[in-house]
Amino acid sequence: MRGISAVNRSVAFIGLVALGATAASAVAGVLDPIGPFVGDASEDFESFTLGAGPSIDIFFNETVVGEPLGSVAPVFVTSGSSFLGSTISAHTGLRFAHTTSPVEFTFFEPIRQFGGYVATNSGSDGGTVEFFDADDELIGTMPLDVTFTIPSAAYTWNGWSSSVPFTRVRITGNGVLEGFLGYDDMQLSFVPGAPCVGLLVVAAIGRRRRRR
């Protein structure tokens, strides 16, 4: 089983302090929503032990890191999360990731597609997803499609494709602390021909990326 880790590898999923951010609209043809897909790497969280901490390795060599308001770690691998009368369970299997603040996925390999199933027990619908390129310039934003439901939280697929490779994604909810979102059955696709830096690092420590 995989456990909570503080080691950054090739993607960071970072819990953020709930601060305001400047948003820009996505340009059609640059950022577009897409339906469920089978990517180059996937994550269902089933191989993790239950727990919470500042980081968890995702996609076998990616990392999820969190630090809400500078204190308690917001990233959990759990079998259930109840808040405001709404309970999130796994989309499939028994486990999923849950955060209590905005989060960032920082990719050290260029990404062209990214997505997963998202649920909320934050008390509010929706959110914002921001995409950044390798120069940390904002490519654009997309709406997060998620609906607060009780007593059981409902998952909604959220997936995106970009004609401009992106290396960082920030997800901010509209509810409590701009977080309280659950993530499961995630997928990503790399830019064709991009160097697999993360894969080389992982191979050096005896781990591998799950590819389809």
Contact 65, 54 (CB under 8 A): yes
**How far is residue 95's CA from residue 114's CA, in Å, rounded to a whole number?**
20
Q: Looking at the predicted structure, is the pLDDT value of residue 144 above 60?
A: yes
Whether residue 21 has pLDDT greater than 80: no
Report the C-alpha gap between 109 and 169 in whole angstroms.
13
Any idea which of 58-67, 81-90, 170-179, 189-198 has the lowest mean pLDDT? 58-67
Q: Lowest mean pLDDT: which of 19-28, 47-56, 142-151, 159-168?
A: 19-28
Among 6-10, 33-37, 152-156, 185-189, which stretch is predicted with the lowest mean pLDDT?
Answer: 6-10
- Return the bridge partners of 31, or none: 162
Torsion of CA 116, 42, 178, 87, to 10 degrees: 70
At residue 19, the pLDDT reads 39
The structural domains of the chain, ordered by start, are 11-17+26-204 (2.60.120)
Question: 91-129, pLDDT tens digit by residue?
Answer: 999 999 998 888 888 787 889 999 999 999 999 999 999
pLDDT tens digits for range 91-100: 999 999 998 8
Give the pLDDT of residue 193: 73
4: CB partners within 8 A, 6+ apart: 49, 51, 52, 53, 54, 55, 56, 77
